Amino acid sequence: MDVNKAFEIVQPFLKPERFEHTKRVVETAVKLSQKYGGDQNKVELAAAFHDIAKNRPADLLKRWILREPLLPRDLLEFHHELWHGPVGALMVRQDYGIEDPDILNAIRYHTTGRPAMTKLEKIVFIADYIEPGRKFPGIEEAREITEKDLDLGCHVALKNTIQFLMKQRQPIYPATFYAYNDLTQKLK
Ligand code: DGI
Ligand code: FE
Ligand code: FE
Ligand code: FE
């Protein structure tokens, strides 16, 4: 599949501003893959599809998760914001025939991260965080660090997200902590 076909599929699922975000994530991810390597078509497809389930109603996402024995049940105990990645990966496999496990995992884990992320997973995770439309404290630092080192970029994004959630007394999904610990140990 080429990226234009992916955009055509994904656009009707997304609110206009979410589709604009998706296009910026693709552009950012492609630039990162030119710097850090990786199959450009896979990067484009993973980035184009990453938020396909973002604007689906929460009860529909919940039903997908309950129906899919391979997804962890504990997702449902956490914020519904965490459901669109795993369900998006199921949707693109089932409805659009994307079978590549690396693409599916990049979609699945783009919100939480996970330990031992592949290069493609890291590129989609950090492109989603630093795309030029994002505005929040620390974003410039995250952009600069990502230009220098992909692992350091993901590490700072995970650290900022964990700190942000903790300041708001929000629960943190375990995979996010595990991803942070994994990169902390690798970067020693
Ligand atoms: O879908 P996007 O808005 O493009 O970005 P995303 O899929 O990375 O969603 C990020 C949101 O998820 C952000 O507002 C923080 C929230 N979130 C809630 N709980 C957790 C979490 N993010 C992580 N990494 N871990 C959590 O436990
Ligand atoms: Fe997302
Ligand atoms: Fe993200
Ligand atoms: Fe996104």
Render pLDDT for 54-112 as a digit per residue (tens, 0 to 9). 999 999 999 999 999 989 999 999 999 999 999 999 999 999 999 999 999 999 999 99
Whether 43 and 120 have beta carbons less than 8 Å apart is answered as yes
Task: Answer yes or no: is the C-beta of 165 below 6 A from any ligand 1 atom.
Answer: yes
Determine the distance separating the centroid of ligand 3 and the alpha carbon of 125, expressed in angstroms. 6
Tell me how far apart the alpha carbons of residues 140 and 55 are, in angstroms, rounded to a whole number: 27
Site to probe by mutation for ligand 1, drawn from 10, 18, 24, 81 as the one with most ligand atoms within 8 Å of Cβ, is 81
pLDDT in tens, 28-66: 999 999 999 999 999 999 999 999 999 999 999 999 999
- This complex has an ipTM of 0.90
Whether 116 and 182 have beta carbons less than 8 Å apart is answered as yes
| Residue whose CA lies nearest to ligand 1 atom number 25 | 112
- What domains can be seen in the chain, in order of their start residue? 3-135 (1.10.3210.10)
